[in-house]
A and B are shown apart, each in its own frame.
Chain A
Amino acid sequence: MSSTNNGTAVRAAGLAGRVNLQQYVVYFGFLAIFLFFAVVLKDSGFLTVRNLSNIVLQTAPATIMAIGLVFVMSAGEIDLSIGSIVAVSALAAAVTMQTYGMVPGIAAGLGCGLLIGLVNGVLVAYVRLPSFLVTLATLGLFAGVSRSMTDLRSIPVTNEFFTGFFGSGSLLGIPSLVWWTVIAVALGHIIYRETRFGAHVLAVGDNARAASVSGISVPKMRLAVLMISGGLAGLAGLLYAGRLQAAKYTLGETDLMTVIAAVIVGGTLLNGGKGSIVGALVGSLMMGMLNNGLILMGLSVSDQMIVRGLIILAAVAVSLREKSR
């Protein structure tokens, strides 16, 4: 602080003028959309406790996926495969559970996510293929796998502990999906902001060469973030299977765009080096609220997709403007 006085007043004033728009845009956006729906949909039940808690429950899997994506994007990579990991993991869990019971089922679900993350990670970190292309390929590949796994059939999940633990249950009066969200966000935030691992992820995304000459293993970090993302997408698959008491290849299909939008709106830069887990949570809730409100307003599925697309465009525009300053 003592170095502030040495004729740097001008510079300090310049800094104050540069308000970081992107960091706060999600909170203003969230409030604005909330107020808009609260007024417009006042008679359609938007403000009921039931509806609002529904929004939180419905966004839980997307929020969990968004946490993983914050790590990936902060490291300067992208993971598109989360869109199909959800279904593969849910199906693997459901099928395994039918014959071997719950614990192997959970292991199979999470294992699928981690394994696909490992494949992505090895190809990106060690074979040095661009993550966009690798995960675009695995997105398509595992969308095919989930379809062929059960011939497009839906697999019921009947284990009551499982459906309670991952879906409709509650503990201390708080729904389990809220627990999952809170725990994942809290843990994710601490790891991202307060550990060396998080700092190294940001360093790799910010300046991989600087990270490398500082002794950080860049490939290891790239592998790690893609495995985190895969694992969390697998967990999202379990949450879907728990809540819907069934697994199907369509699970998570439309989440990819929502999750990317939530993460970018939440203040994570596309090119890495900066991001926010809490921002991603608020972004995810905002996207969920948007979906909910648009449905209540009577918009068709196709109209909802158009609105979501426009929001992503706006978010990306703000994000890139920030980066190029």
Chain B
Amino acid sequence: MTATAALATTKPVLALQDIRKTFGGVVAIENFSLEVYPGEIVALVGDNGAGKSTLIKIVSGVHAPTSGSISIEGQPVAMASATMARAHGIEVVYQDLALADQQTVYMNMFLGREPTNALGLLDRRRMIAETEKLVTELDVRIPSAHATIRDLSGGQRQGVAIARATHWASKLILLDEPTAALGVAETAKVEEIVASLKTRNIGVLIISHSLDQVFKLSDRICVLRRGRQIGVRETKKTDKNEIIAMITGLQQS
């Protein structure tokens, strides 16, 4: 229970307090509060339409909450755009990965944030070196940093997207269904990569439909139903039956 010991002493990287979001008159999220600590993987589960995507968009700066507060390492922040979220050290791995398929791995790693040299030209050497270092650290098995994305398998692409997020995220990574489109072996590989993120002292918020995966990877599970937070459980102290009951609303408590 080293994780729990750490929780007591460190500040949460992300703290959501009483988040409420309405679209017109429709309430999408209500009374949602959640804290994610460094080195912790929190899973966000819920049925379709429970509000997971809306929450991801709030944390990634796409939607501003109607009310409630977002704090990063204890500092309340206003996030009006995805760029601001990134500036706060929050990276998102989108379901569609947001990779430019015809560009190289290293150009994708630095997409929109390419380093330049003194002449203002692209610093390819640095991009390639940093890409290879990270890809090796995370054990993402790609032919080389020069490989074109479209020549990679689904698992390799997912690996590149996670590596990119890892490179830039100083506080939190959001993973939206990271293995939805992958086969068994590739899923296992991506899960390995996600699990290794814990050693990097950043928070991970993962959305997944696979309860097996959630139980394998997460430290805590947060259940959403119809825009409301049903509860947060420590993964080790709960079981699938309880989580399923919470997701479907058949829980007696």
**Cβ contact within 8 Å between B122 and A207:** no
- Nearest Cβ in chain B — how far from A229, in angstroms? 21
Q: Any chain B CB within 8 A of the CB of A186? A: no
**B interface residues, tally (CB under 8 Å):** 34
Decide if A50 is an interface residue (CB 8 Å cutoff).
no
* Distance of A269 Cα from B142 Cα, bound (Å): 25
The reply to whether the CB of B92 lies closer than 8 angstroms to some CB of chain A is yes
Give A205-221 interface residues, CB cut-off 8 Å to B.
206-207, 209-211, 213-216
Kindly identify which residue among B82, B94, B151 contacts A215, using a CB–CB cutoff of 8 Å: B82
Chain A contact surface mostly: helix
* Contact present for A194 and B132 (CB under 8 Å): no
A209 and B141 within 8 A (CB): no
Residues on the B chain within 8 Å of A4, using CB: 143-144
> A214 near B144 (CB under 8 angstroms)?
no
Cβ < 8 Å to A, chain B residues 73-119: 82-83, 86, 92, 94, 96-103, 107, 111-114, 116
**Cβ contacts under 8 Å, B82 to chain A:** 213, 215
A194 to B113, CA, bound (A): 14
Is A273 an interface residue when CB atoms closer than 8 A count as contact? yes
Task: Say yes or no: B136 contacts A2, CB within 8 Å.
Answer: yes
Contacts of A302 in B (CB 8 A): none
Cβ of B143 and Cβ of A8 under 8 Å apart? yes
In the complex, the answer to whether B99 meets A210 with C-beta atoms within 8 Å is yes
CA distance A1 to B180 in the complex (A): 29
B58 CB to nearest chain A CB (Å)? 15
User: Does the CB pair B98–A273 fall under 8 Å?
Assistant: no
Chain B interface mostly: loop
Task: Please report the total number of A residues contacting B with Cβ < 8 Å.
Answer: 31
Closest approach, in angstroms, between the C-beta of A15 and any C-beta of chain B?
6
The yes or no answer to A274 lying at the interface (CB within 8 A) is yes
Is the C-beta of A152 less than 8 angstroms from some C-beta in chain B? no
Least distance between B203 CB and chain A CB atoms (Å): 20
User: What residues make up the interface of A, taking CB atoms closer than 8 Å to B?
Assistant: 1-4, 6-8, 11-12, 15, 18, 190, 194-196, 199-200, 202-203, 206-207, 209-211, 213-216, 269, 273-274
Known pairs A195-B121, A203-B103. 17 more at Cβ < 8 A? A2-B132, A3-B135, A3-B136, A3-B141, A3-B144, A6-B141, A200-B112, A202-B103, A210-B100, A211-B112, A213-B92, A214-B111, A214-B112, A214-B113, A215-B82, A269-B102, A273-B102
